[in-house]
Structures are given as structure tokens and as C-alpha cells.
Structure 1
Amino acid sequence: MELLEKIRSGNRLAKWNINPIDFGLFICFVLTGSFLLSGLFASGYAYLIGEEPDLESLPIVIASGFGLQLSSVLAWLLFKFFVAYESEDRPDSFKKSVKIGVAGFICIYLALIPSMLVWKALLDALQFEYEYQLPVLLVQGGGSPLEMSLLALLIVVVAPICEEIVYRGFLFRYLNRRVSLGVAIAISSGIFALMHLNLYSFLPLFILGGGLCLVYRLSGNIVSSITIHVLFNLVNLLMIYFVEPIQL
């Protein structure tokens, strides 16, 4: 009970004094930018190599993935440049946030393993069709050393940073202190899990999202949740390469 109370009360994020219209514009920009940049990157790469865009081609998929993810960074940069707001956060230092992230990753991953097994068993019992996420299939499909290196960079570094900016840095950040903690976590984690478009990964990713929200809230620094997300994707990537892919 003492630990739960510490988690509930340990909030280093002050209420974010951001205009709801500005927040809505950011979300719209991310969604629109994701669509436009993914298409632009894919078409641009296809033009450079003199081929038609083929979404089944690994290089085209990688280029599209970079465009999809980087839209959130572009939106964040524009937001920081054009929108002024006051912050009374008390964030931990970069070094401490990384340490918190490493410790948080260990705890969250240990909690995810049984939840993943139970969730998979339930869906199997209900006779749902098992499908791997697209990144798993892409890694299993293989490619040139350059292609696989870029894919690893996208999965392990780019995606965690960009997704944390959107789901924790903006969505959860906006909901924090505006609604109850449970509602804020449920909304941000639910959207985070749904956007991965995989039923078997929904519950594990929902739990992961909740853990990321709590760690970000406790540290007040987005670096902590980025650290967890990077380690999570890295471990899963190594599992795909050397062991057996798990559906997370």
C-alpha cells in the first residue's frame, strides 16, 4: 500500500498550462504529417532509385516508416518554436532519468511476460488468428546489411523517441492533472496500444504504456520513458534475431 501511495502521489509534472486549441492543432499536425511524410519519404526514395513505390519492398517500407515517425518530431519543433507556455515541472536530471528508466524497464518487462502469456492463451481459446506485428515480419524477412541497420535504427531509436513525444510527452502530459491518473493512463495507453494495430499485442502494450506514463510522471523527464521504450524494443529485436519472437 505504501508503494502504491508513493506512485500515486509522486508527480513531478505540474499542470500543463497549454491552450486546448494548441494541443488539438499539434495532434492534427502529427496525424496529417504522418500521412504526408510517410508517402513523401516512400515516393522520394522510389524516385531516387528509379522505381515505382512498392509497399512490399523493404527499403520503401523503411523510408515510409521514417517519415511516419519523424512527423511527431517536426510537430514538436514547430510547437516549441511557435507556442509559448509556462512550465513548473521539477524534472530529474538526464543521468537520474536514465537510471530510473533502466530500473523501470526491468520491472515492467517482468510484469509483461505473464500478462502476455495469459492474453495470448485467452485469444487462442477464443480462436482468434495469431499475427505478428509488421516490424517482426520485416526483421524475419531479412535484407541487405544497410537495410537491416536502418530498420534496427528505426525500431530501436527513432520509433521510441517519436512515440514517447506523442503519447507521453503530449497526450499524457496534457491529461495529467486535468483528469484522474487512472483515466489519463487509460486514454494514452489505450490509444498507444490501438495504434499498433495488433490484437495479440494490445494488452501487453497497454500495460507497457501505463508503466511508461507512471515512470514519466515520477521522474518528470521524458528521457526516463524513452529509455524504457528503447530497451524494450532492443530486447524484442534481439529476441527476434536470436531466440523466438514474442508478441509484444
Structure 2
Amino acid sequence: MALVIYFWIILIAGFVLLVQDSREESRTPARNPLPAWNADILEFLLFVSMLLFLYAGLGGLVAIATEDWRANPILKPWRTPMVALGSQAGMLLTVLFLFHPSFKRLISFDAPEKIFSFSPLRLGFGEYFKHGLFAALAALPLIMAIGKGWESLLMWLEDLGFHVALNRQDLLDLFANESGVAVSITMIVLAVVVAPITEEIVFRGALYRYLKGRFSPRSAMVFSSLCFALIHWNLLAAMPLFLLGMLLCRAYEKSQNILVPICFHALFNANTIATLILASQVDAIP
């Protein structure tokens, strides 16, 4: 019952805010576009190379170091969040190396200093939280509908005889199972704090804004959102994540403050976790 009530509250609130957002969009005068990241091709290639190397490298090193944990029932639940934490740390280090002056001095790449801000428009805490909350609520009905349709399409293809992977993301599967309080708290921190910060800085703050300076804003949204969906490496979540990426780009473009899509992303992940918790309580009822 709690899951049904929660679902309908989110759905109704999201629909109301979606209508309100559409009306405000038509009445509000166009704001100056979010500035592009006008990096040269070498600086961008360095960014991509470091991102892939550190993301895969640190995640891979943690995976190798924890390989023996598979046989240990106590340590096994910790393996997935630790590998995810290694990968996220690789993404964050990439951003620090290329955008923070103290870290840029540690590498030999001698790029000219540029004024670059992930948040050209400054907002107060209440403002970016409000914008992030409204954007997340308005997006949820659309993402849930697309996700359900995408899942139905994949199941239909499975029924036709195609081999389609319908498994959920590893972290979600682990959270849905009883893995212990400490593991669950670690996964919540990863999903609601760490991942939104690193992924928004990388995919919206850097990738989207670089592509925006080379292609049309819509093309930049599509390609950066496609990369965002692909890096999660899960077919079932691919279409909802692609749509989420597009809406995160839109929230960033409208607010011109990276904290808004970070807040949006964190609230979206928190909603997913809350839904899993409520669903597990329903399953536990005899």
C-alpha cells in the first residue's frame, strides 16, 4: 500500500510540475545560452583519454584486488560498491587534474589558462535545490513511462527469441537483496552523493559543454546523453538513462549552475532507492 501511495504522489506531483514547467517555458524570455567549453582538440582528447584510463583503470584495479571476495560471504556484498567507488574516483581525478589549477601543474600538458566555471550563474542553496527538486519531479513521470515502454519492448523481443539482457544494474540488484546495513548505507552514499557529483561534472559540465562548442546544442545533448547511458553498461536502463541525460542537460542549460543537475540527479537516484525499499517491504509481506 505504501508503495502505491508513494507512486501516485510522485506521479501527480510530477505531472503538475511538468505542466507548470511547460507553461513557464512558453512565457519566460530566452536566457543567454550556457557558455561552451572552448578547449582545443588536444586538451579535449587529453580529457577523454584520462577519463577512460582512470575510470577503467581504478575500477579494474579494485576489481582485481577484490577478486577473492567472491568466495567470502561477508566480503562478497562489498565488492560491487568498492569497484563502483574506484571508477567514480577515476572520473573525479580526471576533472581535478584538468580543471583545478593545483592539479594542472602536476601534469606536463601545458595548456593556456582559461577562465572556465562549471556554474556561470551563481545560485543560493535554496534556489538550486528548488530547481533541482522541481526538475526531478517533473521528469519522473516521463522517465517512468519511457522506462516501462522500453522494458515492454525488450520483453517482446525476448519472447520473439532474441537474447536480451533484462538484468538490472549491479548496484540496484545488490540493494534489492539483503546485503547488510553498512553495505546499503555505502550504496546510498554512492548513488545519492558520489555519482551525481562526478557524473554531472564529467557528462554535463565538461562533455556537453565541449560538444556544444563544436555542434548544435541539441546534437551535444544527444551525444553526451548517449555516452552517459552507455557508461552504465545496462540495456534495461539504457533508454531511461538516455532520457535522464537529456533532461539533465536541459536543467543545466536553463539554470547555468552545475549544482542544479547534481541535485536533480541525486534526487532521481534517491527516488529509485526509495522505490526499491518500499518494493522489498511489499515482497516481505506474507
Query: What are the residue-to-residue correspondences of 1:191-230 with 2, within 5 Å?
Result: 191-230=227-266
Q: Deviations over 1:100-159 (max 9, x none)?
A: 111111111121122122222222222245221111111123223222211211122111
Unaligned runs of 5+ in 1: none
CA offset at residue 21 of structure 1?
1.1
Letter aligned with residue 217 of structure 2: L
Partner of 2:86: 67
Give me the TM-score of the superposition, normalised by structure 1.
0.86
d(CA) in 1 for partners of 2:223 and 2:122? 25
Report percent identity of matched pairs. 29
Aligned residues: 240
Matched, 1:150 2:156: no
Q: Deviations over 1:193-246 (max 9, x none)?
A: 12222222111111110000011111111111000110010110111111269x
Partner of 2:114: 85
Partner of 1:24: 45
Which aligned runs of 4 or more in structure 1 are off by greater than 4 angstroms? 1-9
Which residue, out of 147, 165, 178, partners 1:116? Answer: 147
Q: CA RMSD in A?
A: 2.7
Give me the TM-score of the superposition, normalised by structure 2.
0.75
Unaligned runs of 5+ in 2: 1-21, 105-110, 159-163, 282-286
d(CA) in 1 for partners of 2:208 and 2:36? 11
Q: 1:183 to 1:199 in 2, by over 3 A?
A: same
d(CA) in 2 for partners of 1:114 and 1:92? 33
Kindly name which structure, 1 or 2, has the bigger radius of gyration based on alpha carbons.
Answer: 2
Moved more, 100-109 or 118-127: 118-127
